[in-house]
Amino acid sequence: QKEVEQDPGPLSVPEGAIVSLNCTYSNSAFQYFMWYRQYSRKGPELLMYTYSSGNKEDGRFTAQVDKSSKYISLFIRDSQPSDSATYLCAMTGYGGATNKLIFGTGTLLAVQP
């Protein structure tokens, strides 16, 4: 079983739609959960950062973490063509086997104008 599983996509939605991106993980020691956005031919950049369980909102973006289910989500409201990119979940923890940043496979999102 992979440590981090992510819905593969690709995902195509019309402008203005609500987008839901998800990841599951297997190691309960992960404590820090992140979403990175990667535009074509660029390096990933941090979009959202969450510690432990709960929700975090930043403008049109909401990150949710459910540690009991080992499930994290990223919601994008009122999606825009400029949101078209690959979205990668990532997670890490304290020390031991989780002291490194592990990524999911990424979901390619296309927002159609």
Partner 1 sequence: NAGVTQTPKFRILKIGQSMTLQCTQDMNHNYMYWYRQDPGMGLKLIYYSVGAGITDKGEVPNGYNVSRSTTEDFPLRLELAAPSQTSVYFCASSYSENTEAFFGQGTRLTVV
List contacts with partner 1 (CB under 8 A): 6, 8, 31-32, 34, 41-46, 49, 51, 88, 90, 92-95, 98-106
Q: How far is the CB of 92 from partner 1 (least distance, A)?
A: 5
- Tell the smallest beta-carbon distance from residue 62 to partner 1 (Å): 19
Closer of 63 and 90 to partner 1 (Cβ): 90
Q: Phi/psi of residue 96, each to 5°?
A: 55, -140
Closest CB to partner 1 among residues 58, 78:
58
19 or 91: CB nearest partner 1: 91
Q: In this complex, which beta carbon is closest to partner 1, that of residue 20 or of residue 105?
A: 105
Dist. CA 15–CA 9, nearest whole Å = 17
CB of 64 to partner 1, least distance (A): 19
